[in-house]
Structure 1
Amino acid sequence: MQRVRHYILEVALLAAVILVSVGGFWNIYFGTDADPQPHHHLHLATVFIWMSLLLAQLILIMRRSYQAHRKIGLAVLIAGPLLVATTAMLAVRSAQKGAASGEGDFMIVQNTMATLELGLLIFLAFLLKNRRKLHGSLLLSTTIVFMGIALFFALTSFVPPFRTGSFDPTFDGFQLAGTAGQVTCLAVGFLFFIRDPKNGWPFLAAGFCFPFNDAIYSLLTSFGLINPLTDIVGSMSQPLTFIAIFALLFSLLAATALPRRARISGSPVHIERPAA
């Protein structure tokens, strides 16, 4: 029980993100116009495999089952690149859809940058694997990225004012939902950072990704570069993008995270609570 209390914030974060993610996917599978496609199934599977892996690792740490923790941790070598590759492929698909419709892709910057930021967090987690608490924070902070995106779709699906903007007719409901998601992510990030600035900064960094991406969007918009960016991303092949991103990140993780001797005997992957 003592160890459970030590990890209460981590457990609460994972539980909240899983719940919000269910809400984010709800309309795709159970909404009035539900029409799930293969890419939705793939995205759903990779997201929940990742969440389940993080939750399983956290539970094993709380139970002091370190041997099982190390063995299951090796799955991150596959799950991490699979997650990022799927996110990249969906970003390409969204850009292609926006370009074909002629309406553009208002999510082009968030989709593209979220892919890069997700990959960076996972790569840094392996690069800094010997600093176990920071390593764990980097892996767990990836949930902040999913929380921000899922919260946007959950709010616009289940809370009418965020869809219609009826809170204030001068603001668009989608914008309000995006702002609510960003504020929530920043609040969670600050909570973890305040508890342990040395090891909790990845949560805060992940929370700042969304306003940072919005700033990039505004900058590109001012220079008229959103449509060119959409065209560039949309011109990529979805299968080739998936393969290239998976191979690149897998190679980086294997080369960076696994010492030569561990490539034969296996290497531990730890998720540890940031120091209180």
Structure 2
Amino acid sequence: MSITGFWNIYFGPEADPTFYQNLHVVTTFIWLGLLLTQLIYIESRRNSLHRRLGKSIFIVGPILIATLVLLSVHSASKSAARGEADMLVIQNMFPALEVAILILLGFLFRKNRMLHGHFLMSTSLLFFGIALFFTLISFIPGYKIEGPETFYRFETAGITATYISVAFGLLLFFAQIKSGWPWLLVCLLFFVNGYIGQLIEEADKMVSLTAFIGSINEYAAFLVTLLIVFAVLTLSFLKRKTTTI
């Protein structure tokens, strides 16, 4: 789904990938590749390799979140420069924060193998929902944007992507009800994001929110986010280690 979501950026009729898009592709696939590799290690019972590779979260996690924040600020700044609302400002900023929370929770619950796995794997559902949205508007008739008169399809595609993603999340939750509640949490986040976006639109504050986020310095946003996430992960690790000792 990520491949089809990114397809038009690289292979579409007007393909012209930017530095930001290249960075997003690289960090996204590194994260998904890390999850896949860890699953392979667990399946083959190579637990020592799994634990050693897991330490890469101190590097991959902060870079992933910082990149998502950078992309959110960059997207908002482009719309703000035109005096317009960024239609994806909520879908950009909130998932960045939510992925960070899920990674932190997965890290904190690393001693509980089932919860640890569910928290980290559930981050993929957020990426899936976004990738499905872009796949719908890029390839599926009835969702493709073909001019100003079809802009309403953005909302239709977003709703459809949300329901499909939630359906997958519920299936994974019911597969392991006792420990699979992180999937249920992510399902709830889809609706929370949609509700917050609706409230902001009803209050006619989307342009103001876009202008505020777009006014943030991109590189400062990246660096500060990188340092904060790294510091939080490090402090959580040290505190948990001290408590264990």
* TM-score bracket for this pair, using the shorter chain length: over 0.9
SS at match of 2:142: helix
1:164: how far off?
5.1
- Name the counterpart of 2:224: 244
1:96-107 aligned at under 5 Å gives the runs: 96-107=77-88
Number of aligned positions between the proteins: 240
1:175: how far off?
2.1
Instruction: Give the % identical residues.
Output: 41
- Name the counterpart of 1:189: 169
Which runs of at least 4 in structure 1 moved beyond 6 Å after TM superposition? none
SS at match of 1:119: helix
Instruction: Pick the aligned partner of 1:202 from 179, 182, 199.
Output: 182
The letter of the residue matching 2:187 is G
The runs of 5 or more residues in structure 2 that have no matched partner are none
1:259: how far off?
5.6
TM-score, structure 2 normalization: 0.92
The letter of the residue matching 1:214 is G
- Name the counterpart of 1:174: 154
TM-score, structure 1 normalization: 0.82
Contact 1:129–1:257, Cα closer than 8 Å, also in 2? no
String of CA shifts for 1:69-114, please: whole Å, max 9, x gaps: 1111111111111111000000001110111122210111121111
- Name the counterpart of 1:17: none
- Name the counterpart of 2:63: 82
The letter of the residue matching 1:88 is V
1:211: how far off?
2.0
- Name the counterpart of 2:121: 140
Change (3 A) 1:164 1:227: closer
- 2:71 and 2:59 map into 1 onto residues whose CA distance is 18
SS at match of 1:197: coil
1:214: how far off?
1.3
RMSD: 1.9
The letter of the residue matching 1:70 is R
- 1:242 and 1:51 map into 2 onto residues whose CA distance is 21
- 2:123 and 2:237 map into 1 onto residues whose CA distance is 18
- Name the counterpart of 1:116: 97
- 1:149 and 1:188 map into 2 onto residues whose CA distance is 14
Contact 1:192–1:201, Cα closer than 8 Å, also in 2? no
